[in-house]
Amino acid sequence: MHQDLSRSVREGDWERLTRWPGSYLLMVLEDTGRLTALTDLAGQFPLYYTRHGDRTVLSTLATAVAAMTGRTEAFDPTALAAYVVCPAVPELVGSRTAFADVCRLGPGEALRVGPGTEPPERWTYASLEPDGDACFEESADRLRESLVRATALRVRNAPRITSDFSGGMDSTSLAFLAADEAASPLDAFVYHHPEAPAGDLEHAQRFAAGSSAIRLHVTLGEDASLPYADLDARAGADQPDPAAAAGARLRLRLTDIARRGGGVHLTGEGGDALLGAPPAHLGDVPGTGGPRRLAHDALALGRLRRVSPAKVAHRALRLARTPMDRALSDLAVRLERPSPHPPQWLDAIAWWPPPGVEATWLTSRARRDLAELAVERAAQARRDGVGPSPGTRAVLCELRDSAAVQTRLVEAARPFGVWTQAPFLDDEVVRTCLSLPGPHKADPYTVKPLLRAALSGAVPAALLDRRTKGDYAGEDYLGLRRVVADLRVRLSRSALADLGIVEPARVAAALDGVEWGLTGPFPALNRLLGVDTWLKRRRGGEGAA
């Protein structure tokens, strides 16, 4: 480690320092007073900074940077609006955060701060572009080695280890890998609400029953753990947290884990982002697989999604020919004239899914500000030239979101004596998965084919055959209907309205629709409530954790 540090400082090869096991934020302070910081590849451990006078203030917490520079109530309304309406377009706000003028050092980025008064230097040390010559079989072998090593290191160095065990491919596979290394049966946890089953319990029990190395615990949901219950109970997150809506459920799960000893706890976070196939990957198929592959995938997906295969192929070809700057210009138009209808699956075969009904919640000024920002970003994209393909970009965005989820989970679990770990977000695993072009790890008829190939023989075959995921929408509906009157009152007093971001009456109309049996815009509502809860705590004077 010391040799790597000395060599990196001498040669300026900072990426070498990101090849150590795990995932981490690294900060190197040289004798000259120069500081160099490097984030992990997923963005699980961000760094926040701002200029204050002629100095640079930085911290792992945005709230700390804001507190040290007098910005605790200086919010960025445009960034907050983008967070609610355009979460899949991080290019809109770039490094901006919920605090005005507080910047975030993103995934795979580095920051250099000199001893003098000059502004910091920022750059990307890892672009994570796929390797066109990468081989599927070799990538599968590397992924298996990476995951086995990631779990083994944690088991061997933790006095106690537990794991999620949803019965899905990601967390359950990690649990089996960890159990192979553990000296005693692994305590594993699955969540189940009897009134709104998500579909995980049956699979988890079946897989656990086949292994004496797994000791399964079922955390039972209750009325008090439903979504939207007791929104303000949790300690404040550093940045707005859409999971605040399900905070009661998370606290119940963490309490159950802590009751059995706490310690290191494995999650499958990151698996979906790295190993799934977002619809945008179809825009990469014409260039990597050619017409035959596009026809095959369009026919298969058309049948599975019950849409016209011709429309699937048309959307894929249109996406392949659409540069990002044009997509940003189209987004500006969509923000100025939002559609009242929710996007369909076909609409996601794009650089990003278009804004849904939540765009109508914004005030005219907020929509105009976002649209103007989209126009600015379009001009910047034209100047920057070629960037990642639509599929690669979509995976990187999902990876960033997944890392943010894990960051907030670590924050929430710390008071319980639980240290959550996400091996899929380790730098070595991220590099392995992203080196393979998206179309090479996508198959309409196979869920996560790269993971399936990597772990064949290492985990139960039936686990790798599961095609479904747990669906918690039933809990969302149940929880919302029980507190809808309280939510209307809350939204009428929301700081989001005070900042000129949303029109509360328009959000309330969406709540009315859920009561009448219409499909609920739960992801957007959860983002909005996450911002509302965060603002309420900040305005209440809560400082940095």
As a whole number of angstroms, the distance between CA 476 and CA 472 comes to: 7
Q: Among 468, 498, 525, which residue terminates a domain?
A: 468
Question: Is residue 421 within 8 Å of residue 138, measured between CB atoms?
Answer: no
As a whole number of angstroms, the distance between CA 444 and CA 464 comes to: 15
Higher-pLDDT residue of 468 and 4 is: 468
| Distance from chain centroid for Cα 266 | 17
The predicted pLDDT at position 215 comes to: 98
Q: Among 439, 468, 497, which residue terminates a domain?
A: 468
Tell me which residue of 214, 229, 213, 221 sits closest to 193, measured CA to CA.
Answer: 221
Confidence of residue 273 (pLDDT cuts 50, 70, 90): very high
> Is 145 in the same domain as 87?
no
> Is 283 in the same domain as 373?
yes
> Is 144 in the same domain as 259?
yes
pLDDT in tens, 11-22: 778 888 999 999
> Is 140 in the same domain as 89?
no
pLDDT in tens, 276-324: 999 999 999 999 989 999 999 999 999 999 999 999 999 999 999 999 9
Confidence of residue 489 (pLDDT cuts 50, 70, 90): very high
Tell me which residue of 153, 157, 215 sits closest to 184, measured CA to CA.
Answer: 215
Residue 99, phi then psi, degrees to nearest 5: -95, 135
> Is 269 in the same domain as 308?
no
What residue numbers bound the domain in which 25 lies?
Answer: 2-124
| Distance from chain centroid for Cα 440 | 22
> Is 314 in the same domain as 250?
no
pLDDT in tens, 127-170: 899 998 999 999 999 999 999 999 999 999 999 999 999 999 99
As a whole number of angstroms, the distance between CA 440 and CA 15 comes to: 26
Domain assignment of residue 283, yes or no? yes
As a whole number of angstroms, the distance between CA 331 and CA 353 comes to: 10
Confidence of residue 544 (pLDDT cuts 50, 70, 90): very low
Whether the pLDDT of residue 2 is over 80: the answer is: no
402 SS3 class: helix
Domain assignment of residue 150, yes or no? yes
The predicted pLDDT at position 43 comes to: 97
Strand partners, 406: none
The predicted pLDDT at position 235 comes to: 67
Number of domains forming the structure of the chain: 4
Classify burial at 489, counting beta carbons within 10 Å of its beta carbon; exposed 0-12, middle 13-18, buried 19 or more: exposed
Higher-pLDDT residue of 1 and 472 is: 472
Whether the pLDDT of residue 417 is over 70: the answer is: yes
> Is 180 in the same domain as 261?
yes
> Is 347 in the same domain as 457?
no
Question: Is residue 440 within 8 Å of residue 136, measured between CB atoms?
Answer: yes
Q: Among 342, 362, 389, which residue terminates a domain?
A: 389
> Is 301 in the same domain as 431?
no
Strand partners, 266: 163, 421
Domain assignment of residue 169, yes or no? yes
> Is 147 in the same domain as 264?
yes
> Is 421 in the same domain as 510?
no
**Percent of the chain scored above 90 by pLDDT?**
87
pLDDT in tens, 194-242: 999 999 999 999 999 999 999 999 999 999 999 999 898 776 789 999 9
Domain assignment of residue 545, yes or no? no
Residue range 361-367: mean pLDDT, rounded: 97
The predicted pLDDT at position 543 comes to: 41
Give the global pTM: 0.95
- CATH assignment at residue 249: 3.40.50.620
> Is 260 in the same domain as 404?
yes
Domain assignment of residue 411, yes or no? yes
In the predicted model, what is the mean pLDDT of the chain? 94
As a whole number of angstroms, the distance between CA 206 and CA 239 comes to: 38
